[in-house]
Amino acid sequence: MFSLQADVYKDRREALVKRHIEGRGISDKAVLDAMRTVERHKFVPQDQVSQAYEDHPLPIGYGQTISQPYIVAYMTQVIKPKPHMKVLEIGTGSGYQAAVLAEIVRKVYTIEIVPEHGKMAAERLKKLGYDNVEVKVGDGYKGWEEHAPYDAIVVTAGAESVPPPLLDQLKEGGRMVIPVGPAFATQSLMLIEKRKGKAVTKNLMPVIFVPFTRSEKK
């Protein structure tokens, strides 16, 4: 049965990708396909659905946001995702970035410190058929050692410095993308490549992400 509503969302998604993502230089076909496939309106609160295909962050509750679509696409492209890869994400939020990654890579492990978001994201991703995503509620600073090493790590919260456990859990030759800088101020989106056990860093662009929060038990 034809759904006019579904068609409208598809058209909006296509317009978003053409103008703000492909139009701003994202060229990886797998990333573009993922951005066209993942239904962002299903990852935002009901009162934000009308804004789902605008290219800006949106509030999702508990002081958190869903990232700007261009930034999601950019961070995904930066790690050079491939079908064989295993990726760790820090900061699940609503699950949108995890879903984009899951469209491309073999397995996504994602950690969320806010229990309410972690539970909702896990249920949402399962309902949408993302069987290759595993969600954990916990302190992302520590990573997820059980499943390490990872081909890539995507951090979606601004950290004052790169958490050493994440570098330890990154595979040799792997890539991490992470915002680094002070809370509630302009941060630097950094690309970190692990070469001979050391971090080789590159400053990509200025960004503003919600702060990287820690559990009380450190």
Q: Which residues are catalytic?
A: 67
Q: What is the 3-state secondary structure (H, E, C) of 161-209?
A: CCCHHHHHHEEEEEEEEEEECCCCCCEEEEEEEEECCEEEEEEEEEECC
Number of H helices, E strands in the chain: 6, 9
Q: Helix, strand, coil % (nearest 5) of the chain?
A: 40, 30, 35
**Mode of pairing for the β-strands spanning 64-66 and 198-207:** unpaired
Q: What is the CA radius of gyration of the chain?
A: 16
| Token pair for 112 | 């969320």
d(C-alpha 9, C-alpha 199), whole Å = 41
CA distance 163 to 40: 29
